[in-house]
Amino acid sequence: MAPILKPDLCVIGGGSGGLTTAAAAAAFGVDVVLVERGKMGGDCLNYGCVPSKALLAAGKHAAAIREAERFGIFAGEPRIDFAAVKDHVRGVIAAIAPNDSVERFESLGVTVLQADASFVDEKTVSAGGQLVQARRFVVATGSSPLVPPIEGLAETPFFTNETIFDLYERPDHLVIVGGGPIGMEMAQAHRRLGSKVTVLEGGTCLGRDDPELAAPVIERLREEGVVVRDFAKVLAVAKGEAGPSITFETDGGRETIEASHLLIAVGRAANVDGLGLDAAGIDYTAKGITVRHDLRTTNRRVYAVGDISGGPQFTHVANYQAGLVLRPILFRLPVRERRDHLPHVTFTDPELGQVGPTEAEAKASGLLKDVVSWPYGENDRAQAERRTGGQIKLVLGAKGKIIGAGVVGLSAGEITNMLSLAVGKAMTVADLRDFISPYPTLSEIGKRAATVYYRPYTKKALVRGAVRLLSRFG
């Protein structure tokens, strides 16, 4: 039997959260073992954020060619080589992969075990025949595409985000079950690259976002030819000669459509199976591992970060949580996870960003005092780019504190960076009003929205009287 490894830290999972934890700990000279059974980089690099944004970028270029006439440039309908587009996607992954590779992490001093990991007791993990007993463990095994119990699905070929990027033939008619961020991003990308696309959503598309801000995204997709069906409950699928057949139900009754390809994008399931969590005394549910405010599990030796921790399933959240757990593990410092300032972006065109509670969520919690907004159409840069659809919305609490914010429009994801800082640092509209934005930039809409908060003061008799009085003193 191989000798038992006894590192200071054992990280299970080589996705964003696990890699951040391992690299940072190793930078401080900590002895780290990293266990990963699949591809280094996890879902984000191989099946999620990176390939989806690369595919969206290709679709954006195709759309730009089609829209060039608005700028006096005539290019015609673009010729799309779908296989070459997928080569572009693979090339982007390959360019980033060395940063997440086994070789890089071994060069940092991390011991990498490429195997399944499973707890055998409260302080021991088995991985590929090797036993690891660490002072602390961090579980970062992520999540996988959720496959719903739809009649006939098991017998019908379908794709998830883990397999769709390996498809090198352009779908003639792609039917997407699920109208969340993944479904809507893939719908627009494939439509712009020449596919017919239908989205079937059991509720409302982009239903977790502010409906006022989500509406322009859905409208844009429909304008581009994507068929979007809300409140469409998929009942069954079947394998046909030309492709999958999908039967769904709406208020108008049952319908059946034929597809060439089927993409299932209804959410994700935490990867808790096979980890031996019971043997380690770690509580968990189908949503993930149960963690305290400091991300520690019911086993005091073990922390959990990323999708497996049952919180928002975003790469940046995993990185944020990794930074948190390093403080108690390395420096014995207390931490408390916050989720009221976490941002997310749907990278459609227009982009849709949100940080903190939406207007409806803030109202339901009793924190909402005011809402101010500003349209893209009143922004000079948006006019120059001929992208005037969209708006910013600031959700305000007491004394003008920015407790939430949302934005839809061109480069909304980049603007969300500023909004995330404002919410995370408990800034007020006065802070946003007073910052100097270079002209002409899209981020000016944040400053303009902040000034709207003060507009009622210009009408107050007391304020006007004070101005008149002060004017008498020269």
Residue-wise pLDDT tens digits, 55-84: 999 999 999 999 999 999 999 999 999 999
Residue 154: which residues within 8 A CB-CB, separation 6 or more?
none
212 and 112 share one domain? no
358-416 pLDDT tens trace: 999 999 999 999 999 999 999 999 999 999 999 999 999 999 999 999 999 999 999 99
Whether residues 230 and 355 share a domain: the answer is no
Residue 470 lies in a domain: no
pLDDT of residue 456: 83
* Cβ pair 305, 312 in contact under 8 A: no
What 3-state DSSP class applies to 287? coil
Question: Are 199 and 228 in a shared domain?
Answer: yes
CA separation (Å) from 5 to 198, 265, 418? 52, 40, 44
Domain count, the chain: 3
Residues 84 and 62: beta-carbon distance below 8 Å: no
Last residue of a domain, one of 225, 251, 267: 267
Instruction: Tell me: do 131 and 180 sit in the same domain.
Output: no
**Residue where a domain terminates, one of 229, 250, 267:** 267
Q: Is residue 393 a part of any domain in this protein? A: yes
Mean pLDDT in residue range 103-126: 97
Same domain, 262 and 274: no
Q: Are residues 157 and 227 in the same domain?
A: yes
Residue holding tokens 């107050």? Answer: 460
pLDDT at 463 over 80: no
* Structure token pair of residue 72: 């006096």
At 470, the pLDDT band (50, 70, 90 cuts) reads confident
Q: What are the tens digits of pLDDT across the range 288-326?
A: 999 999 999 999 999 999 999 999 999 999 999 999 999
Asked if the structure places residue 34 within a domain, the reply is yes
CA dist 316 and 307 (Å) reads 11
Confidence of residue 240 (pLDDT cuts 50, 70, 90): confident
Q: Does one domain contain both 15 and 134?
A: yes
| Domain harbouring 407, CATH code | 3.30.390.30
Co-location of 273 and 124 in the same domain: yes
Residue at which a domain ends, from 267, 285, 302: 267
**Alpha-carbon distances, residue 290 vs 143, 284, 296 (angstroms):** 15, 5, 8
Say if 177 falls within a structural domain.
yes
Confidence at residue 64, expressed as pLDDT on a 0 to 100 scale: 97
Residues 140 and 19 in one domain: yes
Query: Is the predicted pLDDT of residue 1 greater than 70, yes or no?
Result: no
Asked whether residue 54 is assigned to any structural domain, the reply reads no
Domain membership flag for residue 414:
yes
Residues of the chain above pLDDT 90, percent? 93
118: domain range?
A: 9-40+101-144+269-331
Question: Is residue 336 domain-resident?
Answer: no
Residue 90 has pLDDT above 70, yes or no: yes
Per-residue pLDDT of 126-139, as tens digits, reads 999 999 999 999 99
Asked if 24 and 128 sit in the same domain, the reply is yes
95: in domain: no
Q: Domain check: are 318 and 210 in the same one?
A: no
User: Are 139 and 14 in the same domain?
Assistant: yes
Can you tell me the mean pLDDT for 220-225?
Answer: 98
Mean pLDDT, the chain, integer: 96
Q: Specify the pTM.
A: 0.94
